[in-house]
Structures are given as C-alpha cells and as structure tokens.
Chain A
Amino acid sequence: MESRFKVMHSNNTVKVTLQGRLDAVNSPSLSDELAKLKGKAIGNIVFFAKDLEYISSAGIRVIVFAKQKIGENSKIYLIGASETILDVIKMTGLANFMIVQDAYSD
C-alpha cells in the first residue's frame, strides 16, 4: 500500500506529514508507526495536514491515539488543515485538544 504519510522524530518533536486520505485503510499503519514512539520523551506532536483531503472516523482516532499513547503530556498541533477537515474534527468533538495553526516553526 502506498504510504501517504511520513513520520519524523527529532529531539522531542514528532512531525507527521499527512496526504490524501486518512481512513480505516491506512490509519492502522500510521498508528503502528506512532506506537513505536511509546515511552519516549515527546513534547510536541505536529500533524502537517495541508495536503490532507479527507479524514474519516478512523483517521481522527489515530490522532486521539497519538495523544493517549505517546503524548499525554505533549502538545498536539494540526497545521494547515483545510476548513472542511477542521470543521469535521471540531464537530465530532474527539480531538478538541489540538492546537490549530496555519504554520509551524521549530
């Protein structure tokens, strides 16, 4: 399956670049990837979502999973997401802990 995301970990920040669709088809592999970071000291988890076209229920749950499993005390950012994606996330009420910004700099 074509990977539509990239996960980079440096210092205490995890950067996840999302593209295309994040749904039940590809979210398990992303959560597997994120699960590898369990136990590490992570201060920020940054989801770059400029090229994310669609997020499903399973996709939103990966973000919640990231918060629960690897970043309970870290800041979770959502960067550059489209209005539709932001609205969906807001209306489903699952990921209101996220800090929404247009851009992110280290």
Chain B
Amino acid sequence: MIRIDAHPTHHRDGFDLRIGKPLPFGATIVPGGVNFSVFSRHATACELLLFRKNEDEPYATIPFLDEFHIGNVFCMTVFNLEIEEIDYGYRMDGPCNFKSGQWFNREKILMDPYARLVGGRDEWGVTPDWNKKYQHRSRIFFDDFDWADDMAPDIPMEDLVIYEMHVRGFTRHSSSGMKYPGTFATIQEKIPYLKDLGINCIELLPIHEFDEFENERISPVTGKPLLNYWGYSQVGFFAPKAGYAATGKFGMQIDELKATIKALHHEGIEVILDVVFNHTAEGNENGPYISYRGIDNNTYYMLTPEGYYYNFSGCGNTLNCNNPIVRSMILDCLRYWVYEYHVDGFRFDLASILGRDQNGAPMANPPLLETLAFDPILGKCKLIAEAWDAGGLYQVGSFPSWGRWAEWNGKYRDDIRKFLKSEGGTGGMAQRIQGSPDLYGWRGPNASINFITCHDGFTLMDLVSYNGKHNEANGENNRDGGDDNLSWNCGIEGATRDAAVNALRRKQIKNGVTLLMVSRGVPMILYGDEAGRTQEGNNNTYCQDNELAWFDWDLLETNREIFEYFKKIIAFRHAHPVLRSNAFFRNSDYVGSGYADISWHGTNAWNADFSPSSRCLAFMLCGKHAKQGRERDNDIYTAMNMHWEMHVFELPRLPEDRKWHVFANTDMIPPHDICDPGEEIVLQNQGEILVGPRSVIVLVGK
C-alpha cells in the first residue's frame, strides 16, 4: 500500500506545501516533510518563518493559506526541509486591545508553544545577543530514541526515598571531578554515588527550557553576576533545558536527557520532574513576547477585567490553567514527558494555582487536577503538589486529590523543625511520625511527602547554623526569602571553630534525618544535605549560580560522619517494612501480638507526655504488624529527647525471646553513633536507657 500524502498539493515561493494535520500540535516530522500546527483563537492570519540556524532574518516566510486553517488551528506540511539546519517561528496578526486582553503584533516572532526543542540558550551562561529579534527559537527533532527494554521502576510510594536535585548544582562545582560538570550526562556518572547513598528517586528542579539570563544583574554585594539559576520561569514546557546538556551546543539535549533517564531506570532510580505551570517567563505587562502572549494572550493568561495580568504566582503573570485550551496543553505536555521521556512523576510548583478558575477563584473540583488524576497515560505517575500559591491559597491537607495526589507536607517540615529546636510539640510530632493522619486521614500516608529541607529555604546544615537568613548576596537588601525558618544556630551564628557547637550541629542533623526516615509517609532529602552542604545562611539561592549553591563534593570528606550516618539510616528504612506502609497505624493490636502497631512512650514506658512543653517522646512499632501483619519485621523503638538535659527513658518490655539492640544513638561519637542495619549491639540494661541531651536513639527488638 502506498501512501499518497507525502506529495505536495501547493507550491509557493519555491516551497512545496500541503494542508497539515491539526494534531499533534507542534512541528512533527512526517514522510517527506514537517507538519506545523499551532492554535490561536483570535489570530486573523499566521505566517511560518524559517531561519537558518541562529540567523536573525528568516530565509523564508510562508503564510498559512486559508485552506490550511481548520477551526482555530493553523496547520501545514512543508516538504523538503533540512530539519537539523533550521529554526522556525510564527508571526500572528489579529486585534491588539489591552482591555480585551489581546496583544497581537505582527512584528513579533513567536516560539511554538509546543516546541520540543528550543534553541537560543544552547550553552549555559553564554551571554545572548539581545539585539536579536528571535531569542528563544523553536527547532525540530526526532522522537525516535531507542529505549530498548527500559521500564519504569514503578516503586511504591511508601518505598521511595526522594533526592531533590538541581541538575547544574549537583555536579557543577570543580570538586565533582567530572568532565562535563553540571549536565544531564554527568548525573549518569554519579549513579554509583546515588546508589551508595541509598536513594531510589531523584526529583529535578525545573528542566524545561528557561532563560538563565532572565532578570540578569550584578550583585551589589559580591560583584558577581546573578542569574535565574533555579529556573522557575519557563520558556517552553515541552523542551528540555539545552544549557543542562553537555550536548546542548549540538542540539542533542533530548537524546542526552533520555539516555540519562534510561541509565537511572536501569539502576532502579526513578525520575520526578518539578514542573512550573503556574506562570511563564513572559512576565507582566512590561515583559517580552516569547510565545503565548503573541499567540493568544487572553487564552493563555488570567487577566483582570481591565486587561492586566493576575499575579498569583508572584512572578508577574498566571497561566490560565483551567481554560480548556491551556488545560489540554498541560495534559499534552505531561503525557509527552511520560511517553517520550519515561518520566516517573511530577512535582507541581505552586500547584494551588492549578485549582483556580479563570478569574482566579479556587474551585472545589478543578477540572485540570481531576483530569490529571484520572488520565490513562499518567496512570502510574507520581503526582505531587506544592499545595499553596503566592496568592494566599494554602491547601496542605486539603488539596483536591481524588486519592491520586500527594503533597509536599509543609506542616511536617514545620513541626519537625520546632521539635528539633526544643520548642516541644510532641502532639504534632505524633501526627507527623504517623504520616499525618490529621491531614490525610482518608488518603493514606503516601499523600505526605515528608521533608525537613528543600531547595526553597535553608539547607539542613544551615538550619542548624543560622537563626536568620543571610541573603544579602541576592542584592535585595535581605528582603527576599522566607523569614519563618524555625531554625536554630546552636549558639553561634554561622560557621565557627567552636568544637562543641559543631558537634551539636552534626547531632541535630542526625536527629533530623533519623526522624525523617522513621516517619511514615515518603521521605525527601535535599541534595548535599548528606554532606552538610551550606549556603552560608542564604535561604533563597534562586539567583546564585556559583559555589554558594553548588554541591561541594569535598564536603563528603570534611563531613564524612554525616554522610555515613545518612547512608545507614536510609538503609535502615529500606531494611524495615514496618516503617513503610500506605496504611495508617490503628494504635491497636490487630494481629494478636500483644503490642499495638504503634505505642507511645516517654520517660516512662506506656506513658507519653503530650503536654505542650514536653520535649521527650518515644514510640514503638510492633514488627508483627509490618505491612498490616503480612510481613514479619523486628520491633523498632525510637526515643527522642529534645530537652537540653539528658533523660532516662524506661523501655517497653519485650517478650523473653527478644531483646532491645541499639541501632543508632546520635549522642555518641562515630563510629558508635550508628551501625549497619542488622549489626545492632544488644543493650545491657533492657529496662531503661539514658538518652543524651538533644538526642535520638533507635533500638531494634529482635
């Protein structure tokens, strides 16, 4: 059977053309040519512009003929294009009326919203030529990567240990010793490190194409250039960040990222992307035309009745997520990342915006969130919401979920931090340790992504080294970044040579990660915390593309004891199914073991003190209740003393055939602070244990 559609029907200015297919949107390679398809509801005319790579003037301008306009879609196949050698863009004509939200300008060259490859910032940090009219350039690429037998690891949520990572920050520091530092490819080189640490999922800060030069400036304090380092401002949602690929200068970032994900999967590591659908890099009324605003401004953005941009994102504009067109684009985009890149999940930045209607009001059942929850292609994807936005909507515990969505549990972070700094709150701690049933009662503990630190805020070392933020280097007079850090500097602000303070800081770090790993829910750690990474008190390094934010790998030697502790406590979590489940504890004995699945203790066994000022709490997990009784495990007892005095904790008595063994005691000096799982040493006194000041002890009953 011979197809007859690889044949032009129209000839114009030396180009062979044919009516295109409206779907899929974007530029798609078809037999003999490329199918271009772009939506605009209000445009009256559209032109396709073809450029030789990186040239400022197009070598061809091809109008979409009237017969190439189907509904609100312009679609055309152009034959015989040298696809590797060209960039393409659109120009649209239509009404320009601020109050009605229409910004058509036929002088502006527009990136394709569905561009799967975007040029213009091919190498990170190479200053762009701002005189060029077309900065972010749509390109065409093959979607033909050879995945061979790649399969999603499909790790149950409760078994994940997530590692939040900035692609560039992870290996850009000279100490990483890598040939192509700061790239996707180099993550592959570091897989042995990630496995050694014990994590099984990486969550990447935004990797969609963004402009690191957006709002570029010089720090008045340090004299260093400040860039859009984190990248929470997307140019194109379908394209990977070229500057994160060692092969970006050759336009091969798509293959490089796919090869990286394939390599991670091969080693049993999942990949979650941090996606930013709440706004775009086009900013407010004074921002540039990149794409959306020139294609259909009042479709893509939420606008006030006067035509201004709503700013629920804090970044100048708000994507109109519950407009049906934008909703479809987001769904197309996420599906694309799943089926083309084999991505395992998404974390949605300021996800509450995705639940606002077109006028900005929060909805009870937002169609976008429901669509994502039930979409077949996203069916096994992890969906994680940052359940708040910059417009004051805070939905931790109440984010519309349909049983599918998990949340960054900000209350976990805050309650653990308060408890760590000796503010008490054993009642809150009991909730957090159990997976926050007070928040996720009907959803299960897997809805709770537990974390103490993330990219946004202090690193774990800084959390125990600074009382206040020190963001002067950002050049905003220290006004940026959160003020409610719930941090404690252990006596001296910032770096010190005081041995006692440093020892306490290390202990507090170990306390924190221990609580994280014995809590029900899904633990997430911030890259570098396992080595005591510091940002010198800066809790908002969004613009710091330098040593302040990059992971200094030499810290692994300096802080070897922290790294060793992380490894072992993570291994402990993996070793003990009683710690991992998507069922809440029932606080009762339902398998006839003689012990409740979880029991609460204090300095006296069976008698927890939940008064507001209490700083001592202990709990015991009954191993016979592991996985609701389906698996056998050891008993685990954790004592937490966040008082500055030591306390004796009376231990719950075990049956004759079992004894308490010490797995971790953060008050001890290494190597006695923690052991390898299974190597625990029997406790001499089975009746009680001395818990040092601000210390955590983990015992195993076997």
Contacts and interface: CB of A to CB of B under 8 A. Distances in A.
A91 B253 CA distance: 9
Contacts of B184: 91
B602 interface: no
Contact of B250 (A25, A56, A93): A56
Nearest to A57: B252
A91 B144 contact: no
Nearest to A93: B259
B84 A93 contact: no
Interface in A41-77: 54, 56-58, 60-61, 64
A58 B140 CA distance: 12
Given A64-B146, A88-B250, A92-B252, A57 B259 contact: no
B306 interface: no
A102 interface: no
B434 interface: no
B148 to A, nearest CB: 10
B84 A61 contact: no
Given A24-B83, A24-B85, A91 B141 contact: no
A87 interface: yes
B326 to A, nearest CB: 31
B83 to A, nearest CB: 6
Give the interface size bracket for B toward A: 20 to 34
B247 interface: yes
B83 A93 contact: no
Interface string A71-106: 000000000000000011011111000000000000
A91 B146 contact: no
A88 B255 CA distance: 10
Nearest to A64: B146
Contacts of A90: 185
Interface residues of A, number: 17
Contact of A91 (B85, B142, B259): B259
Contact of B84 (A56, A88, A92, A94): A56
A17 to B, nearest CB: 22
Given A24-B84, A24-B85, A92 B247 contact: yes
Interface in B25-45: none
A88 B259 contact: no
B86 to A, nearest CB: 10
B83 A91 contact: no
Contact of B142 (A25, A57, A88, A93): A57
B142 A92 contact: no
A101 B555 CA distance: 38
A interface SS class? helix
A93 B85 contact: no
Count chain B CB atoms within 10 A of each CB in A57, A58, A93 and give the residue with the most. A93
A92 B622 CA distance: 49
B246 interface: yes
Interface in B41-79: none
Contacts of A23: 84-85
A90 B263 CA distance: 12
A74 to B, nearest CB: 17
Nearest to B81: A24
Contacts of A64: 146
Nearest to B258: A93
B520 interface: no
B262 interface: yes
Given A25-B84, A61-B142, A92-B255, 14 more contacts: A23-B85, A24-B83, A24-B84, A24-B85, A56-B84, A56-B250, A57-B142, A57-B250, A58-B84, A58-B142, A90-B185, A91-B259, A93-B263, A94-B259
30 contacts: A24-B84, A24-B85, A25-B82, A25-B84, A25-B85, A56-B84, A56-B250, A56-B251, A57-B250, A57-B251, A58-B142, A64-B146, A87-B246, A88-B250, A88-B252, A91-B184, A91-B188, A91-B259, A92-B247, A92-B252, A92-B255, A92-B256, A92-B259, A93-B255, A93-B258, A93-B259, A93-B260, A93-B262, A94-B255, A94-B259
Shortest beta-carbon contacts, A-B, top 10: A93-B259, A24-B84, A92-B255, A91-B185, A91-B256, A92-B252, A56-B84, A91-B247, A57-B252, A92-B256
